Structure 1
Amino acid sequence: MKFLGHWGLFSIILLFGCLTYGRPVHADTDASLAHVQAKGTLVMGTSPNYPPYEFQINKHGKSQIVGMDIEIGKQIAKDLGVKLVVKKLSFDSLLPALTTGKVDIILSGMSPTPARRKSVNFTNIYYTEGESILLNKTEHNKYPTKSAFNGQKVAAETGTLQYNLIKQQMPNAKLIGMSSAANLILALKTHKVAAVVKGTASATAYAKNDPNLVAVNGHFKTSSAQAGNAIALPKGAQSLTAAINQSLAKIKHQHLIQRQYLKTAGKYLKVNTADTSMWHYRHYFLRGLEYTLLIALIGIIGGSILGLCLALLRFNRLLPLRWFATAYVEFVRGTPLMVQIMFVYFGIGMLVDVSALTAGIIAIVLNSAAYLSEIIRGGIQAVDVGQSEAAASLGLSKNANMRYVVLPQAVKIIWPALGNQFINLIKDTSMVSIIGITELIYQVGIVQADTYRGVAPIGIAMIIYFIICWLLTRLLHYYEQHLNYE
């Protein structure tokens, strides 16, 4: 069972003020079902890196989201008479996506905790499981009981039920929190931690597909409020909740989860583990590289143009324009890029519906512009004032002086700094994975979850980033030499 991490909780707090001014999500609570049926689609938010609930498979070179929750979503959409649309996001972004109308429901192994119930609706429980401890098989006999982990490092996803269970029921163990399932498994297999606590279905899936791991019953005690998974809906969406509960009741009555959905998920898991070579997943890395380069290229071009405009505004005689440029730069540099990306997608996205890719590009451009503007401004100030005085004595206007005299010399001065910023921007594109853009880092997480291999995908990503940055460095160095010869 997956829980909302710190970033998701922080983003909800950040967007709380925006919700007051944004368009209401299902303001007419009785119209929630009618709204879904009128548009003909049920948009399901999920984080596809949690087998067997939801994960991606590489089938004939094409990516496909599958799993138990996907099968449940299909049945619900069929019963409602609409088409299921699956929107993939990081788990931390699911609740903000629901509260801002990006998705209609969250079906992603989520537990209906009291804290969550305050902000969203939940359906009835559709699946209940226990909690298991995942171990390296060679150390299976070393830890017969929970007390055997005293003084040992035991890990779980931060902010989850499992994290709290370790804290409460294994008080003498050293609790380690991590942000993703892939990182947990990697830490376990490299012996950074002694054990990982996960939901039984997920732990069993990992153990069945990795001969070096074993899942054992954790014998944890959980309350009825904590146990089980449910579907999250917008607060007040009563009619849609009731309709989905009817579908869930039919699924339970026919025992479809045990008889069909879990078996289907198991078959899909075998598709992934049939060939776990990185070459088999080359299309994932190429797709991630494509988005990384696209975002970086637009970020460099857009950030440079906007950064130049901001730098010039800092020299403007009109104080309001100078204040605006200064305030913009200080604000952007004073807030994390990840928060800016989430604000553009969820906050501004409430007023204007923008895709995740568009929101990510906008955030990257706005962020890089602030840093580039300071680099450009420093270069302009570094140009000898005598150059401008000489230009004025020859009758050049201020605009012509800036265009033909100052800026060309400033570019030569700041070129190395610009190059460093461009390289940093390429690496910063990894941040957009938080809103589900399938750039390189996002694809690494998917490959890790699908193949149960932790190190190899990271190694491939490092090589790809190095090649990109090395080629860009060579290109920038070439033009730097060209500028010096002029």
Structure 2
Amino acid sequence: MKKGQLGVWLLGIVSLIMLMGGLNLSVHAATSDQSLARVKAKGTLVMGTSPNYPPYEFQVNEHGQAKIVGMDVELGKQIAHDLGVKLVVKKLAFDSLLPALTTGKVDMILSGMSPTPARRKSVDFTNIYYTEGEALLVNRADQAKYANKKALAGQKVAAETGTLQYNLIKQQLPAAKLTGMSSAANLILALKTHKVAAVVKGTASATAYAKNDPSLVAINGHFKTSTAQAGNAIALKKGSTSLKQAINRSLAKVKRHGWIQKRYLKTAGKYLKVNTANTSMWHYRDYFIKGLQYTLLIAVVGIITGSILGLLLTLLRVSAGRPLRWLATAYVEFVRGTPLMVQIMFVYFGIGMFVDVSALTAGIIAIGLNSAAYLSEIIRGGIQAVDKGQTEAAASLGLSQWATLRYVVLPQTLKIIWPSLGNQFINLIKDTSMVSIIGVTELIYQLGIVQADTYRGVAPIGVAMVIYFVICWLLTRVLRYYERRINHGQTV
């Protein structure tokens, strides 16, 4: 055999080996991906969404019950049907959707999300299912003044943080003053109160707001978007190849039949009319009642667990050995040195990676752990304020350390710290609003939903303020009643 022929044969053999190796890797990757199998095994497809973005996803008050509807929800139902499973919709703040996906809280994000290059680094995206432009939403009175995006130079222009629109303002309106907000409802409120000159939203959403609010008008923004990020896609966890392929097949069928325009958008439009038929706050009273119930539940459990854990931390800090005292001190300092919102997200997304906890449970745990640190400091300060002569007298009478603490020190401590305890309890009630970021339907979360559903910005805020005031006023009266009993030597 000639040397040239030998070389050709060797090259062919090497190429065949490399090809077989590549095929084996592809087969291994395909078989190791269990994303579709897991969804089918549990029988549910969990869709993460932020329901304050009509007509994509929003809530309606149907027969007194809150219901998440919209174009994306209809699409999610079709995908679940094609997969042979049931759709479960989980509501979260938009900023919390990506952490929820990467930690396994949801199987997919279907929330009008654009597949930007930055997002593609952390999650996978399906094919584009809907393409639209970007619109400027302005007050009708300012329509002539802000006829195009160039006229917004030097003006405040707003968008939801973490969205494509936010980045487009940054890139294509450098002369404007960018303002980011966490919810669509807050954006519209800022616009209507002239805090910002314009809001950038997707055309479908901007048109929906303009149609249902005569004081607003939608203008073509003429923003330029790259092919890679134009339109909306479904976000999936990295490596979910089999689930992505199955969803893409479903999206291809939806596109082939034109169901988004023929069915889903029309269904969303009907629900929008339901919302705007009666926008009185009394009509949405069940929303506020439900929010109040969750707020009180979180506050009461947080006060109880925080008080017990706070007392335990205090006892460790004043009477335990050095290692336990150091640990208790470190805990208090760490909790007081980090924001409550971050703690809530850590409990839900961080611990939730190992233990599946609901949003409500995570919120209660975070509130309880946070309040314990502050209550521990209040109790410790009260114990230190008790005259040392009291403990010396108790010791001379033969009382043990525990008996002295129980019968001498703590009763006097309670009298000293009662006003501070009351103030902390009131603050805790207001701090429950933080759990709305992980989708707990407490008062502030329900406030945002009512704003999005009714296109009214100020009225829902007024209702929530009154409810919070009544709760805190009643708690203040109760605390003062028991304060008078303590000061007169009566038991609580």
Category of TM-score, reference length = shorter chain: over 0.9
Cα drift, residue 260 of structure 1: 0.5
For residues 116 and 305 of structure 2, the distance between their equivalents in structure 1, rounded to whole angstroms, comes to 43
Decide which of 219, 222, 230 is 1:219's aligned counterpart: 222
Matched, 1:375 2:382: no
| Matched residue SS, 1:86 | strand
Q: 2:400 aligns to what?
A: 397
Q: How does 1:82-93 map to 2 (within 5 A)?
A: 82-93=85-96
Paired letter, 1:82: V
Letter in 2 for 1:193: V
The 5-angstrom pairing of residues 290-329 of structure 1 reads 290-329=293-332
- Report the alpha carbon displacement of residue 101 of structure 1 after superposing the two structures with TM: 0.9
Post-superposition shift, 1:152? 2.1
Measured in 2, the distance between the counterparts of 1:351 and 1:28 equals 24
1:260-409, aligned counterparts within 5 Å?
Answer: 260-409=263-412
Q: Which residue of 2 aligns with 1:51?
A: 54
State the 1:175 CA deviation: 2.2
Q: How does 1:160-239 map to 2 (within 5 A)?
A: 160-239=163-242
In structure 1, what is the equivalent of residue 466 of structure 2? Answer: 463
Report the residue type matching 1:234 in the other structure.
K
Could you tell me how far 1:195 is from its partner in structure 2?
1.2
Alignment match, 2:118: 115
Deviations 1:383-439 (A, max 9, x none): 101111111111111000000000000000000000000000000000000110000
Indicate conservation of the 8 Å contact 1:132/1:197, yes or no: yes
Distance in 2 separating the partners of 1:400 and 1:275: 63
3-state DSSP of counterpart to 2:231:
coil
Q: Tell me the SS of whatever aligns to 2:130.
A: coil
Residue segments in structure 2 that go unaligned for 5+ positions in a row: 1-28
Q: How many Å apart are 1:121 and its aligned residue?
A: 1.1
Deviation readout 1:293-322 (Å, 9 max, x if unpaired): 000000011100000000000112411110
1:234-264 CA distance string (max 9 Å, x none): 1101001000000000000000000000000
Q: Which moved more, 1:142-151 or 1:470-479?
A: 142-151
Q: Which has the larger radius of gyration?
A: 2
1:30 aligns with 2:44: no
Q: List alignment gaps of at least 5 residues for structure 1.
A: 1-25
Cα distance, 1:303–1:262 mapped onto 2, change above 3 Å:
same
Stretch moving more, 297-306 or 160-169: 160-169
Counterpart contact for 1:29–1:239, Cα < 8 Å: no
Query: Which string of whole-angstrom CA distances, capped at 9 and with x for unpartnered residues, describes residues 68-122 of structure 1?
Result: 0000000000000000111111111111111111111111111111111111111
Q: Which residue in 1 is equivalent to 2:129?
A: 126
Aligned structure 1 segments of 4 or more residues deviating by more than 3 angstroms = 26-29
Give, in whole Å, the separation in 2 of the partners of 1:325 and 1:443: 37
Residues of 2 paired with 1:326 and 1:217: CA distance?
Answer: 57
* 273-282 or 166-175, larger mean C-alpha shift: 166-175
Cα distance 1:317–1:67, how it changes in 2: closer, same or farther (>3 A)?
A: closer
| Counterpart residue number, 1:13 | none
The secondary structure found in structure 2 opposite 1:141 is coil
Structure 2 residue aligned with 1:410: 413
CA RMSD in angstroms comes to 1.3
Structure 2 residue identity aligned to 1:310: L
| Correspondence for 2:98 among 80, 83, 95 | 95
Match of 2:78 in 1: 75
TM-score normalised by the chain length of structure 1: 0.93
Are 1:29 and 1:236, in contact at CA under 8 Å, matched by a contact in 2? no
Q: Residues 110 and 229 of structure 1 are in contact (CA less than 8 Å); yes or no, is this contact kept in structure 2?
A: yes
Q: Which amino acid aligns with 1:94?
A: L
Equivalent pair of 2:158/2:199 in contact (CA under 8 Å): yes
Q: Report deviation, 1:28.
A: 6.8
Q: Residues 33 and 240 of structure 1 are in contact (CA less than 8 Å); yes or no, is this contact kept in structure 2?
A: yes
**Count of paired positions:** 461
Aligned residues of 2:49 and 2:91 also touching (Cα < 8 A)? yes
Q: TM-score, normalised by structure 2?
A: 0.92
Within-5 A mapping of 1:150-161 = 150-161=153-164
For 2:58 and 2:32, locate their aligned partners in 1 and report how far apart those are by CA, in whole Å. Answer: 32
Q: SS of the residue aligned with 1:404?
A: helix
Say if 2:113 and 2:234, in contact at 8 Å, map to a contact too.
Answer: yes
CA, structure 1 residues 28+424, in 2 after alignment: closer, same or farther (shift >3 Å)? Answer: farther
Structure 1 equivalent of residue 8 of structure 2: none
- Alignment equivalent of 2:447, drawn from 424, 437, 444: 444
Distance in 2 between residues matched to 1:339 and 1:27, nearest whole Å: 37
CA distance in 1, matches of 2:48, 2:179: 28
Cα contact 2:116–2:164 (8 A) shared by 1: no
Identity across matched positions, percent: 81
Mean CA deviation greater in 274-283 or 177-186: 177-186
For structure 1, which segment, 313-322 or 287-296, has the greater mean C-alpha deviation from structure 2 after superposition? Answer: 313-322
Aligned match for 1:472, one of 470, 475, 478: 475
**One-letter code of the match for 1:297?**
V
Q: What SS does the aligned partner of 1:448 have? A: helix
Contact 2:113–2:163 (Cα < 8 Å) also in 1: no
Report the secondary structure of 1:273's partner residue. helix
Partner amino acid for 2:95? D
